[in-house]
Chains A and B, each alone.
Chain A
């Protein structure tokens, strides 16, 4: 009975390889091994720095976010399920263990930072410290 079932799934493996091509999501087709994990995007507005990372399948409480001075540390671990029985036909997702230190462009207020994890995306909001904000200076004319 199993033999008849196995057939289509073997086919799946072969054809999916032909039909799908990994895009250069993390650069120019370089090996992902050379990319610091997790890859991050950063942006800012007048008062905040924002750091975003894609971390699908983690528990929120397994993600550690630390700020010290202008250094942001992200640490965490993902373990993909590994049943003892059955067969893996394809394993592209991996166990993920990361520890990354990011240099921020501004000093930030440690007490007001927030980190939100939604749909596998972590967004950290870091309020710039008062000293890091631009100060407008009025030019006096005489």
Chain B
């Protein structure tokens, strides 16, 4: 299990994203990963399936109550598919979690293609 970096309050490419995904090139080309969201007494936990994303290729940001998760996947080259049932590409998802989340207390880890993000109020 490896820790991943969280950047707070930094401008980034997804700043202007809205319902129209074309606002961000990265997001427009990215797949939407599936997430489970769980709330306990002490924390809120997000679990996301992002197969093929290494801890180094994961970018999680929190800004103005918005949590963005971007996982880069290196596209394999020189493959001549004889059968292709799924596409390969970046993952992108964002959640509005509200301003009450403490940015200092956000932690995340990545294991076997699953990202786990912990939020605390």
Partners in one complex: yes
Residues of A within 8 A of B (CB): 2, 4-9, 11-13, 15-16, 18-23, 25-26, 35-36, 39-44, 50, 54-59, 80-81, 83, 85-93, 105, 117, 119-121
Residue B101 at the chain A interface, CB threshold 8 Å: yes
Partner of B51, one of A18, A36, A55, A89: A55
Contact A87:B94 (CB < 8 A) given known A18-B19, A35-B85 = no
**Which of A12, A42, A105 counts the most chain B CB atoms within 10 A?**
A12
B36 touches A120 (CB 8 A): no
Partner of A11, one of B44, B54, B96: B96
List the B residue with the shortest CB-CB distance to A123.
B76
Residue B84 at the chain A interface, CB threshold 8 Å: yes
Residue B10 at the chain A interface, CB threshold 8 Å: no
B94: chain A residues at CB < 8 Å are 16, 19-20
Contact A119:B54 (CB < 8 A) given known A8-B97, A12-B95 = yes
B41: chain A residues at CB < 8 Å are 2, 85-86
A87 to B82, alpha carbons, bound, how many Å?
44
The secondary structure that dominates the B interface is loop
Contact A90:B37 (CB < 8 A) given known A21-B21, A26-B86, A120-B112 = yes
B52: chain A residues at CB < 8 Å are 54, 119-121
Partner of A44, one of B17, B51, B80: B80
Q: What's the least CB distance linking B112 to chain A, in Å?
A: 5
A6 to B100, alpha carbons, bound, how many Å?
10
Contact A23:B32 (CB < 8 A) given known A18-B19, A39-B86 = yes
B49: chain A residues at CB < 8 Å are 56-57, 93, 120
Selected A-B contacts with CB under 8 Å, 19 pairs? A11-B96, A12-B96, A15-B95, A23-B32, A25-B32, A25-B87, A41-B88, A54-B113, A56-B112, A56-B114, A57-B49, A85-B40, A88-B37, A89-B37, A91-B36, A92-B34, A93-B48, A105-B82, A120-B49
List the B residue with the shortest CB-CB distance to A59.
B112
B40: chain A residues at CB < 8 Å are 83, 85-86
Residue B118 at the chain A interface, CB threshold 8 Å: no
B50: chain A residues at CB < 8 Å are 56, 120
A22 to B38, alpha carbons, bound, how many Å?
20
A41 touches B113 (CB 8 A): no
A42 touches B83 (CB 8 A): yes
A93 touches B86 (CB 8 A): no
